[in-house]
């Protein structure tokens, strides 16, 4: 993978089957699929993607379960009068409960985002309850799987949604995160090392906070906060990069994802030109997956 791509790739159709088991022992398969392209905006998508119910799921206590953005949406059968749905995590302990409105059939759980502590990937159990009496239960797998698929330099991708009112817009970059799993995730932070903008400072690395939702079955475009390829000075505490004295440097980006693994990207950049007039050339790139993170946001 390299920067010589023409446009963000479309997220491919993903067939996820979540096994639901009721008290009767019946098994129900839910399949989800999307063909929405990755957008050129860093605004969270407002859609109700994966896990649309199959006809076979319209029986028993639970009519269906789906992931909509960062939420797990639960729909009860018409003849079910539950007042709560309880969610138990992979460890078997109660993680959260959601109120069902009187006469209502639907409730939801916030799985990722600023308003929640997140969730642990694995097999979860949902229990419908009325006056502390269990009416029925199902199990489902929530497993995010996020990879970094493309890294794009604004100079080479001028048709994307850059802020062209800025004089240095061509020094910015974007990257695509693709979630092929069955559960949502969130981009919490980006960590940069040896990027051109970092070389202007005395720091070894710089970290930026994000709250970008990564729904399953979607490819999400993330616009980097810093001007990644900026080599000139101009900011307090920053100086111009002496490109004429550098051979090559390898940029390292780590995307801190909660929960799930932390995909990383490395790009080798050749420096050249004269003082005050840097010339940057990309000569190689690589993506990898790093250690998994838990829902509390720790990373290694």
Q: Is the domain of 133 the same as that of 174?
A: no
The enclosing domain of 121 has a CATH number of: 2.60.40
The answer to whether residue 98 sits within a structural domain is: yes
Q: Could you tell me if 287 and 279 are in contact, meaning their C-beta atoms sit under 8 angstroms apart?
A: no
Q: Is the domain of 160 the same as that of 119?
A: no
- Of 104, 124, 142, the residue that ends a domain is 142
Spatial separation of the C-alpha atoms in residues 82 and 99, rounded to whole Å: 9
* Predicted model pTM: 0.76
Structural element, H or E, at residue 21 = strand 16-21
* Total of domains in the chain: 2
Q: What is the pLDDT of residue 291?
A: 63
Q: What is the pLDDT of residue 125?
A: 96
Q: What is the pLDDT of residue 234?
A: 63
Q: What is the pLDDT of residue 235?
A: 58
Residues contacting 115, CB < 8 A, separation 6+: none
Q: What is the pLDDT of residue 233?
A: 72
Spatial separation of the C-alpha atoms in residues 63 and 76, rounded to whole Å: 5
Provide the token pair at 167. Answer: 């004089």
Q: Is the domain of 245 the same as that of 263?
A: yes
The answer to whether residue 245 sits within a structural domain is: yes
Q: Is the domain of 205 the same as that of 274?
A: yes
Q: Is the domain of 280 the same as that of 189?
A: yes
The answer to whether residue 7 sits within a structural domain is: no
The answer to whether residue 219 sits within a structural domain is: yes
The answer to whether residue 76 sits within a structural domain is: yes
Please tell me whether the peptide bond between 259 and the residue prior to it is cis, using omega within 30 degrees of 0. Answer: yes
Residue 87 β-bridge partners: 96, 126
The answer to whether residue 137 sits within a structural domain is: yes
Q: Is the domain of 156 the same as that of 285?
A: yes
The answer to whether residue 5 sits within a structural domain is: no
Q: What is the pLDDT of residue 276?
A: 75
Spatial separation of the C-alpha atoms in residues 269 and 271, rounded to whole Å: 6
Q: Which value, in Å, is the radius of gyration of the alpha carbons in the chain?
A: 23
Q: Is the domain of 165 the same as that of 257?
A: yes
Q: Is the domain of 213 the same as that of 200?
A: yes
- Of 112, 142, 172, the residue that ends a domain is 142
Q: What is the pLDDT of residue 240?
A: 87
Q: What is the pLDDT of residue 274?
A: 82
Q: What is the pLDDT of residue 211?
A: 94
Q: Is the domain of 77 the same as that of 150?
A: no
Q: Give the structural domain span for 35.
A: 16-142
Q: Is the domain of 217 the same as that of 158?
A: yes
Spatial separation of the C-alpha atoms in residues 278 and 155, rounded to whole Å: 14
Q: What is the pLDDT of residue 89?
A: 97
pLDDT mean by block of 10 residues, the chain; 300 residues? 40 32 31 33 39 41 94 94 96 96 94 92 96 94 97 96 94 97 97 95 93 96 96 71 93 97 96 88 89 46
Spatial separation of the C-alpha atoms in residues 225 and 212, rounded to whole Å: 12
The answer to whether residue 6 sits within a structural domain is: no
- Of 142, 162, 183, the residue that ends a domain is 142
| 10, 195, 196, 220, 259 from 246: Cα distances, Å | 37, 13, 11, 34, 38
Spatial separation of the C-alpha atoms in residues 211 and 114, rounded to whole Å: 7
DSSP 202: S
Q: Could you tell me if 66 and 74 are in contact, meaning their C-beta atoms sit under 8 angstroms apart?
A: no
Q: Is the domain of 127 the same as that of 195?
A: no
Give tens-digit pLDDT for 51-73. 433 322 334 899 999 999 999 99
Q: Is the domain of 131 the same as that of 84?
A: yes
């Amino acid at each position: 993978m390299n920067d010589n791509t023409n446009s963000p790739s479309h997220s491919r159709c993903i067939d996820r089957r979540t096994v639901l088991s009721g008290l009767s022992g019946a098994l129900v398969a839910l399949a989800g699929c999307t063909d929405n392209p990755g957008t050129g905006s860093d605004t969270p998508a407002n859609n109700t993607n994966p896990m649309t119910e199959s006809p076979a799921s319209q029986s028993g206590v639970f009519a269906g379960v789906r992931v909509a953005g960062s939420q797990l949406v639960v729909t009860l059968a018409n003849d079910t009068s539950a007042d709560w749905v309880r969610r138990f995590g992979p460890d078997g302990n109660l993680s959260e409960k959601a109120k069902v409105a009187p006469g209502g059939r639907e409730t939801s759980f916030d799985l990722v985002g600023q308003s929640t502590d997140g969730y642990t990937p694995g097999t979860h159990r949902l229990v419908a309850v009325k006056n502390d009496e269990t009416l029925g239960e199902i199990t489902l797998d929530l497993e995010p799987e996020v990879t970094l698929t493309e890294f794009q330099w604004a100079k080479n991708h001028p048709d994307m949604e850059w802020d062209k009112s800025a004089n240095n817009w061509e020094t910015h970059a974007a990257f695509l995160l693709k979630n092929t799993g069955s559960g949502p995730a969130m981009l919490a932070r980006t960590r940069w090392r040896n990027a051109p903008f970092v070389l202007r400072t005395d720091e070894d690395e710089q970290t930026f906070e994000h709250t970008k939702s990564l729904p399953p079955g979607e490819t999400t475009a993330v616009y980097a906060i810093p001007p990644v390829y900026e080599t000139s000075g101009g900011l307090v505490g920053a100086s111009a990069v002496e490109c004429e004295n550098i051979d090559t440097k390898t940029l390292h980006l780590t995307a801190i994802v909660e929960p799930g693994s932390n995909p990383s990207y490395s790009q080798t950049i050749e420096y050249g030109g004269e003082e005050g007039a840097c010339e940057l050339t990309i000569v190689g790139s690589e993506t990898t997956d790093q250690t998994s993170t838990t829902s509390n946001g720790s990373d290694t």
